[in-house]
Structure 1
Amino acid sequence: MSGVSPVEMLVERPTLPGTEQVAVWWGYFDELASWTWDVEPGRPMTVHVYTPGDSVRLLLNGAEVPGGAATPERATATFTVPYASGELTAVAGRDGEEIGRTTLGTVGAPAALRLVPDVTDLTTSRDDLAHVLVEVTDSHGRLVPDATLKVMFQVDGAGELAAVGNGNPHNVDSFRQPRRHTWHGQALAILRPAKRPGRVTLTASAPGLRPAALTLTVGQQRARSDRGQP
């Protein structure tokens, strides 16, 4: 089916000794698309693989992980994997044929910020916005999936910082302040253009990390071709 992923993989966040996660009714696991965890080697990790297929294989650094529920039940296969840094790959199949695979890799320490906008330019319309994803990356440009760092924002030129966010349901800080902590290694900055053409620059910085800057052109708002229409 178009638009449906053949396989996704998430790892449960480790719990305290003697406890476990339980997802009942409409609940869900505290899980993350990450194979970067601050745990001792060999620590059992619970891995969920989601797929419409009828079989799943799990590979850790190229070696197949034995045991575990390799046959999906309600589209989910669950494995217990002794933690080791490297690459964890899930391979989904149907009727003996591979339908997809996905890999999670261990990343390095936070080293830099990266800005990813959803648009390449703006107009002078006050309803025109740029949503800029802020990502914490390691020295190889890979997302650090559980980095929690305070990011500061500065906007110069033809625009302003309309809002910030991070998706964390427990974060109740003001979304109008020029700062935000990342959640799962990411945050969001929303730019609003000025009423005049020009260029707007967003700079993001965090202690100990290489900052990132992004410049967008703000062009004159084009007249509507359907003027007079409701």
Structure 2
Amino acid sequence: TPYNLDATNALNVPEGPEREKLMAELKKLGDRAPSRSSYFGIVDLCGFKKDRFYIYQAHWRPDVKMAHILPHWNWPERKGQVTPVHVYTSGDEAELFLNGKSLGVRKKGTGEKDRYRLVWEDVKYTPGTLKVVAKKDGKIWATDTVTTTGKPAALTLKPDRNEIKGDGYDLSYVTVAVRDAQGRMVPRSKNQLTFKVSGPADIAGICNGDPTDFTTMANPENRKIMKIKAFNGLAQVVLRSRKGESGKVTLQVISNGLKPAQTTVTVK
């Protein structure tokens, strides 16, 4: 993980009570590692883009008009506290607004801090909307916004393909998102999700991108119903066609207290 130099790593702590405490924590885990995969990379285990994805896109695809704000803006426990805002953009400067008020313009430079990103260090967290307007050669190039959302209220499903081949191998990757009453993805939600599929396809696997979640990704004994928690408002279910079969596949996702969602995929 990126935290090998962190004090929470027992090997980095000198002999004494603190190290003994950490070693005891490790012993409780037994043969199980603290995480099932690395934290590195620009996408997670589902292929969902991390914030880091956009710093590479901004640098290696300067022709793509883009701007990306981070972090998300759901931090009720940080109200009034300084919460730095970063922007990745293929533009050469940008102006940041919080609830319509300008927080100033930042320009790219040649230094370590401003070559690849623009940073507003002294932003105090206030619920609402952050908006960035990026410019290139003095003209508006791209915009991005992040908004404080409401509580989880509903689920949505989005297949990457609505039609797959009935060869027993073809797949459709379906993204589920936890959304508020206004349809905005709720970035800190971890609701328990239940997937149910009917028709000529099975659940090949599920995932949420969380490297510390050891939920079984595949269940050969039951390919019609599987469960997993959302991670940062997202999860994924993979549908696989049945060989020699065709017709309509219906996928449902439910979660207590949330409006369920349903989508269809056609097997040909």
TM-score, normalisation: structure 1:
0.79
> Residue 82 of structure 1 aligns to a residue in which SS?
coil
> Residue 169 of structure 2 aligns to a residue in which SS?
coil
Distance apart, 1:2 and its partner CA: 6.9
1:114 to 144, 156, 168: 156
Distance apart, 1:77 and its partner CA: 1.2
Distance apart, 1:5 and its partner CA: 4.2
Match in the other structure for 2:253? 204
2:221 matched to 1:185? no
1:39 to 71, 77, 86: 77
Q: 1:69-110 CA deviation, whole Å, 9 max, x = no partner?
A: 822311211113111121101122233322211111111100
Match in the other structure for 1:27? none
Q: Which has the higher helix share?
A: 2
Q: 1:3 to 1:116 in 2, by over 3 A?
A: farther
TM-score, normalisation: structure 2:
0.68
Q: Percent identity?
A: 35
Please list every run of 5 or more consecutive structure 1 residues that lacks an aligned counterpart in the other structure. 12-33, 220-230
> Residue 70 of structure 1 aligns to a residue in which SS?
strand
After superposition, where does 1:17-28 map in structure 2 within 5 Å?
none
Distance 1:118 1:43 in 2: 39
Spell out structure 1 runs of 4+ moving beyond 6 A.
none
Query: What is the letter of the counterpart of residue 135 of structure 2?
Result: G
Q: Which has the higher strand share?
A: 1
Distance 2:262 2:63 in 1: 33
2:262 matched to 1:213? yes
Distance 1:37 1:218 in 2: 43
Query: What is the letter of the counterpart of residue 187 of structure 1?
Result: A
Distance 2:160 2:240 in 1: 13
Distance apart, 1:4 and its partner CA: 2.9
Match in the other structure for 1:102? 144
2:118 matched to 1:70? no
Q: Report the count of equivalent residues.
A: 195
CA RMSD across the alignment? 1.8
Q: 1:54 to 1:217 in 2, by over 3 A?
A: closer
Distance apart, 1:3 and its partner CA: 6.0
Please list every run of 5 or more consecutive structure 2 residues that lacks an aligned counterpart in the other structure. 1-60, 109-113, 220-225
2:96 matched to 1:58? yes
Q: 1:124-169 CA deviation, whole Å, 9 max, x = no partner?
A: 1112111000100111111111211111111112111110011112
